[in-house]
Amino acid sequence: MQRRKIIQNLLAIAAVSLTATFAHADDKQLKIGTMSGPDAQIWSVVTKVAAREGLNVKVVEFNDYVQPNAALDSGDLDANGFQHQPFLDSQIKQRGYKIVNVGLTYVSPMGFYSKKFKSLKDLPEGAKVGIQNDPSNGNRALLLLQKYGVIKLKPGVGTNGVNATPLDVAENPKKIKLVELDAAQLPRSLDDLDAASINTDYAVKAGLQPTKDAIAIEDLKGPYANLIAVRAQDRDKPWVKKLVAAYESDEVRKYIDTQFKGAIIPAF
């Protein structure tokens, strides 16, 4: 009888220990990297939805597009949500990251802005036009300039995974000068430029409204929907599915629609 009681006690202790272990695993804080501004605003809503599903999410804000993937790859983050697939593809190609897309977030059409002109057609000869210096967003800017007839690119570049650069401009009737800058610098450089391509998150932080202030803007349909990324080794973990579901909830969709009024559009 005494031996049975000892065994029962040991089993009870083991069960409590095992339960505590699983509880600790469920309570692990997930660090999610994103950009300050609209991205961080949306993720603040996601964290509340995720909490109801038992996820403890901490949002880590960044101010450039390079650090979030480096931090995710190194294990300092569990996931990030700030980039589109072409940008992730270029980062993987350049740096060898083993990072994968696990869900879509929103579409944020890129636009050109100017403090001097109302249309890209109004640009004078020799105008200075700012574009992003990273391959995928610079490519978007050049395609937008081509769409509005400012330049013409060489055949076969700009699409199908081949990013265009200023060296790929075949026709430039107004001899505009393309000024490549870090994406974060473009809003601050508007005074010194005739026009600049600005990502929506940076535009909004600079007090610009894409649907109102842009003098040219991308179509809403395209490959540039932002996404949630995790390390390839984590893609099938239960928390990933919960995190994506939290973002793709009706609550988050309603917040995006109400808060951003068409400047940012849910992609789920």
Q: Which two tokens stand for residue 11?
A: 């089993």
Q: Which two tokens stand for residue 242?
A: 């919960």
Do residue 203 and residue 227 come from a single domain?
no
Do residue 142 and residue 69 come from a single domain?
no
In the DSSP assignment, the letter for residue 183 is: G
Q: Which two tokens stand for residue 38?
A: 């609209």
Report the side by side order of strands in the sheet with 128-132. Answer: 177-181, 128-132, 195-198, 111-113, 216-217
| Domain-terminating residue out of 182, 198, 217 | 217
Domain count, the chain: 2
Do residue 19 and residue 67 come from a single domain?
yes
Do residue 88 and residue 116 come from a single domain?
no
CB 218 within 8 A of CB 111: yes
Sign of CA dihedral 64, 70, 74, 78: positive
Do residue 95 and residue 148 come from a single domain?
no
User: What is the residue range of 157's domain?
Assistant: 111-217
The one-digit pLDDT tens for each residue of the chain (268 residues) are 555 554 455 444 444 443 333 333 346 899 999 999 999 999 999 999 999 999 999 999 999 999 999 999 999 999 999 999 999 999 999 999 999 999 999 998 899 999 999 999 999 999 999 999 999 899 999 999 999 999 999 999 998 778 999 999 999 999 999 999 999 999 999 999 999 999 998 998 899 988 899 999 998 777 889 999 999 999 999 999 999 999 999 999 999 999 998 888 999 9
Do residue 87 and residue 127 come from a single domain?
no
Side-chain-facing half-sphere of 222: CA atoms under 13 Å: 18
d(CA 217, CA 220): 9
Q: Could you tell me which residues come within 8 angstroms of residue 199 by beta carbon, excluding any fewer than 6 positions away?
A: 108, 110, 132, 137, 183
Can you tell me whether residue 138 is helix, strand or coil? helix
| Domain-terminating residue out of 179, 199, 217 | 217
Supply the pLDDT for residue 104.
96
Do residue 90 and residue 11 come from a single domain?
yes
What is the CATH classification number for the domain harbouring 248? 3.40.190.10
Do residue 69 and residue 195 come from a single domain?
no
75: amino acid identity, one letter: G
Do residue 101 and residue 177 come from a single domain?
no
Q: Which two tokens stand for residue 6?
A: 């000892």
What angle (nearest 5°) sits at the alpha carbon of residue 110, between those of residues 107 and 115? 145
Q: Which two tokens stand for residue 193?
A: 């430029």
Do residue 153 and residue 213 come from a single domain?
yes
Supply the pLDDT for residue 8.
53
Place of tokens 């809003």: 187
Do residue 9 and residue 103 come from a single domain?
yes
Supply the pLDDT for residue 121.
95
- pTM (2 d.p.): 0.74
Q: Which of 25, 45, 100 is nearest to 246 (CA)?
A: 45
| Domain-terminating residue out of 198, 217, 236 | 217
Do residue 239 and residue 181 come from a single domain?
no
Q: Which of 126, 123, 104 is nearest to 216 (CA)?
A: 123
Q: What torsion, rounded to 10 degrees, do the Cα atoms 60, 130, 210, 82 define?
A: -20
267: amino acid identity, one letter: A
